[in-house]
Amino acid sequence: MSTVAEKRALICFIAALLKGCNHVAVGASSPIPGTAALLAKEAWDSPRHVNILGSVKNNFLTNGGQELFDCAAQGRIDAFFLGGGQIDGQANINLMGRGEYPSCEPRWPGTFGSAYLYFLIPKVILFREEHSKRVLVDKVDFISAPGTSDENIYRKGGPYGLLTNKAFFRFQKEKARFHLEFIHPSSSLEDILDNTGFEFDYKANTLITADPDPELLKLLDNKVSSKVKEVYPQFSHSIFKRD
């Protein structure tokens, strides 16, 4: 499976996860989730509202940088994406850096809004293409945002699942543990066990991720590509032929 095909498959996979949402917000430098959200809107008019942060044209927020966070706190954002330099088996994420804070090495940009949005958006999809023991660790070095919270903590949202270029894990809130749900065709259970730094639940007969629906791919090429080009010009160049 080529990288282009893989990316297109991830887009379709994410799009399906967003079905049923009313409002999906996506970070500016998240072309795969962003494209997926635009595709889902085109395919099912669900999400009805897609907000690409940092973009002028595809961002309908008008109340300044604070609005995204207020909107999440109001319960008006249904799904969002977070990544992380490290993600551990309890869905804790680390965007701060490796090693002991504050002298991280490397130091990554910082926590952004993760320490907040992870608590307030019902469906947070952890998305990180690289599937390795370097990224998927047993314990993150710094908790930018915790995957779970005690009962007394006000928490309306949290991790829904973790998508990589090898697999999709569903997060089990009660157990605070991932469950392997789909293995992408390019990978295998052994490959995943070898490259995952945390323990997770799985069945021997874990399903292989289905190939993307050809109709959805057609829609992506015919209807969504022009919008993607506006928002993510370089990325669009890499996944659409007729550029």
Partner 1 sequence: MTISVQELVNLIPYGTKLAIPADYAGVAMEATRALIRKGVRNLHIVGVPTSGLQSELLIGAGCVSIFESSALTLGEYNPAYRFSDAVKNKSIDLVDATCPAIHAGLQASQKGIPYMPLRGILGSDLLKHHPNWKIIQNPFSQGDDPIVAIPAIQPDISLFHAPLGDKQGNVWVGRRRELVTMAQASKTTLVTVENIVDTNLLDDEKTAAGVIPSLYIGGVSVCPKGSWPLDFWQGDTEDTEHLNLYKQKSRTKEGFQDYLNEFVFSREHS
Amino acid, res. 133? K
Q: Does 114 bind partner 1 (CB under 8 A)?
A: yes
Give percent helix, percent strand, percent coil of the chain, each to the nearest 5: 30, 20, 50
Joined tokens for residue 113: 């809004």
Closer by beta carbon to partner 1, 119 or else 198? 119
- In angstroms, the CA 112 to CA 95 distance is 8
Q: How far is the CB of 114 from partner 1 (least distance, A)?
A: 7
The alpha helices in 19-90, defined as continuous H runs, are: 31-44, 67-73
Q: Does 29 bind partner 1 (CB under 8 A)?
A: yes
Closer by beta carbon to partner 1, 111 or else 186? 111
Closer by beta carbon to partner 1, 44 or else 108? 108
Closer by beta carbon to partner 1, 60 or else 194? 60
Taking CB under 8 A as the criterion, the residue among 66, 214, 241, 242 binding partner 1 is 66
Touching partner 1, residues 121-180 (CB under 8 A): 142-146, 149, 152-154
Joined tokens for residue 25: 């917000």
Stretch that binds partner 1, among 36-44, 64-72, 167-175, 211-219 (CB under 8 A): 64-72
Q: How far is the CB of 185 from partner 1 (least distance, A)?
A: 30
Helix (H, G, I), strand (E, B) or coil at 92: coil
Touching partner 1, residues 76-95 (CB under 8 A): 76, 95
Helix (H, G, I), strand (E, B) or coil at 139: coil
Closer by beta carbon to partner 1, 43 or else 120? 120
**Of 65, 15, 67, which is closest to residue 45 (Cα–Cα)?**
15
CB 86 within 8 A of CB 60: no
